Structure 1
Amino acid sequence: MAGQFRYVTPVEPQGATGLVARVYAQLANDFGMARMAVFLTLSPAEEVLAATWATLRESLLAGDEPRTAKEVVALGVSMANRCPFCVAAHTTLLHATGDHRLAETIAAGGTPADPRHAELLAWARTGRVAASVGAEHIGTALIFHFINRMASALLTENLLPGNLQNSRLVRSVGGRVMSRTVRRPLPPGASLPLVAGLPALPEPSWGAGTAAGAAYAVLRAVAGAGAHLLGEAARAAVTSAVAAWDGEHPPMGRAWLDGPLAGVPAAERPGAALALLAALAPYRVTDADVAAWRGSRPDEDLVRLCAFGAITATERMEAFITGRAAAAHAKPGGRS
């Protein structure tokens, strides 16, 4: 499936060593797949890979909340972020939970019959404050705001060859194949040894004392470290633009980039543009955007720069989700 990867040559499982190999081994055991494109594309930056996996595992896979409910959140966020790769994947994983009607209802744009699922889907798609969500729901929403951006920037839309993921039958069969693993309960915290010793910011208030919160604290630190790949003016432009972002998809075209980039020196603009696209419109990243910044930089740097943009936007969404954003600006009906 080399055609899935746009700009990165991944570390393949058979050639992985060290931390990457350890992440792949746990991913294969706990997720049930030895080769997942989203994680493969992060593999050149092993700390980003490990922290992304840990946050996903501790939010989506482990814990006390029903997996079906959390898959609804993952799917709702992915739909809001216009990430067809992730939408297809989590429609299939909803099938794997055994709720085939729910999976296809959401895929078709409908409202779940179960009131709780309808509530979670609406929350995931709008990002508005909801009193009835816990750390696992919030962690799931945030990790998919991050993963959606990385997938949209660095992968094609082809989850399966020939876009077979668009077939309801294929999704249903794929879900049945994965059902045993998806329905197996997993203990919290098993991924935390993978990120032990990596930089970490303080645990978020929504997840303090939980494995999901601990993993997310590491993700914020290691993804945010990609800021060092930009000059001071470029970093300031990206953070300021995202801090003022209202959560909506940017207007079509490229004119919306002109304002944030106006004060950035010409040599720093390609990096700032790429990071801003990864944050706010990752599905619009082009070959030209990558080439303008990349030069001879390795895959690791590209992953880290996109991770900086993605986590900056994810932190902004965290503010909306947890109610810290000013009410006048808390209207994220669509994202990227």
Structure 2
Amino acid sequence: MSLLARSTRGITLAHVRHVTPVPPGRATGTVARVYHDMEREFGMLAPPIALHAPAPDALAGAWVVFRETMLPSVAASRAAKETVAAAVSLANRCPYCVDVHGATLDGLTTGGDARALAAGRLGEMTDPAMRALARWARRDGGPVPFPGSGAQLPELVATAVVFAYLNRMVNVFLRDSPLPPLTGLAAGLARRGAARVMGRLARGRARPGASLGLLPGPAAAGPAWAAGQPHIAGALAGATAALETAAEPHVAAPVRAVVSGLLDGGAAGPWNGGAAGPWNGGAAAGPWNDGGAVASLPAALRPAGRLAMLTALASYRVTDAVVEEARSSGLNDAGLVRLTAWASWSAARRTGAELASVR
């Protein structure tokens, strides 16, 4: 284990809210294997993955799809993936992921484009290829044709899927930023230090497909758009099977039906249709409120239904009260992770299909 991994364990796990991750010294089975692999290959316990530890099946699914998408580079560079990660995180209003992946991109590139992207100023980016990729991933004004090559499509669409998923989980379970609350010169020094560390970690190499054995064989193939890279297709299919199976005892059929119906109706998130949609902006009204879809659920299912719908449609609106209400309805740490993971993955998969369809 690296010195960085050892020294940051307590700090990174302290970022997690609402659930208690398994401490590394007490991890066994799947959790111990994922922790070991994450520290060896990623360089540290990443809080967006480690937060899944109360539900080992969801932890394995999240790690495998993240690892297979982000760590091996076949046709797309890590810098291109970090551009997509930061842009999708902007669209999903996930400041934690914007800070992490903006810093990683800053550590991988020169100039100010990474900082402009992290600040949401895409028009100030000077690299035309990076700017086009960021606009495609963020989808500010609706669908944008994919600006890369066909060979790059599986990795970059998969990156968008992974972060459409992780942004939601992070908005629910992590604090707003991994960086200390500093201002002025101290804040700038902290950002530059994070860029150096994250950029160095992102320059590692990983073998495609090495983590797939953590997941049971999926019942179906991965999405057609990922077929050109079997390790990504396998990871997506395996994660879908793992997260769906893990959620079965915790997501009642009426909740599944309502959330899936809203997603299929086009309410997949703020990237869908630009500013249109009740999930975007300051309006409190929306299909997750008691005046809408939640009211159609039996009273006992409304707390879990509200959390699932908010996670899928507008995760930045999930409050402590929403999480605690769902917990009081009978969900423990594992149940909270599995419910929100199902809702997040349900929305993220649709993001992939939408992005891949615009060529």
The structure richer in helix per residue is 1
Partner of 2:287: 256
Distance 2:351 2:169 in 1: 15
Report the alpha carbon displacement of residue 231 of structure 1 after superposing the two structures with TM. Answer: 2.7
What code does the residue aligned with 1:88 have?
Answer: D
Partner of 1:329: none
Structure-2 change in CA distance of 1:130 and 1:193 (3 Å): same
Distance 1:278 1:181 in 2: 30
Q: Higher RCO, 1 or 2 (CA under 8 Å, sep at least 6)?
A: 1
Report the alpha carbon displacement of residue 255 of structure 1 after superposing the two structures with TM. Answer: 4.1
Report the alpha carbon displacement of residue 128 of structure 1 after superposing the two structures with TM. Answer: 3.7
TM-score normalised per structure 2? 0.83
Partner of 2:87: 76
Q: Secondary structure at the match of 2:17?
A: coil
2:146 corresponds to which of 121, 126, 130: 130
Structure 1 alignment gaps of length 5 or more:
325-336
Q: Is 1:62–2:72 an aligned residue pair?
A: yes
Report the alpha carbon displacement of residue 157 of structure 1 after superposing the two structures with TM. Answer: 0.7
Q: Is 1:282–2:315 an aligned residue pair?
A: yes
Q: Secondary structure at the match of 1:167?
A: helix
What code does the residue aligned with 1:322 have?
Answer: A
Partner of 1:91: 102
Report the alpha carbon displacement of residue 3 of structure 1 after superposing the two structures with TM. Answer: 5.1
Q: Is 1:308–2:342 an aligned residue pair?
A: yes
Aligned length: 322
Sequence identity percentage = 36
Partner of 1:16: 27
Q: Is 1:236–2:257 an aligned residue pair?
A: yes
Contact 1:227/1:308, CA 8 A, preserved across alignment: no
Contact 1:233/1:263, CA 8 A, preserved across alignment: no
Report the alpha carbon displacement of residue 170 of structure 1 after superposing the two structures with TM. Answer: 1.6
Deviations 1:279-303 (A, max 9, x none): 0111211222122222243211100
Contact 1:270/1:293, CA 8 A, preserved across alignment: yes
Between 1:310-319 and 1:221-230, the stretch displaced more is 221-230
Q: Is 1:173–2:173 an aligned residue pair?
A: no
Deviations 1:197-234 (A, max 9, x none): 25454211111252111111111222233154233222
Contact 2:92/2:269, CA 8 A, preserved across alignment: no
Alignment of 1:144-159 (within 5 A): 144-159=163-178
Distance 2:335 2:133 in 1: 36
TM-score normalised per structure 1? 0.88
Between 1:209-218 and 1:272-281, the stretch displaced more is 209-218
Structure-2 change in CA distance of 1:164 and 1:154 (3 Å): farther
What code does the residue aligned with 1:6 have?
Answer: R
Structure 2 alignment gaps of length 5 or more:
1-10, 271-278
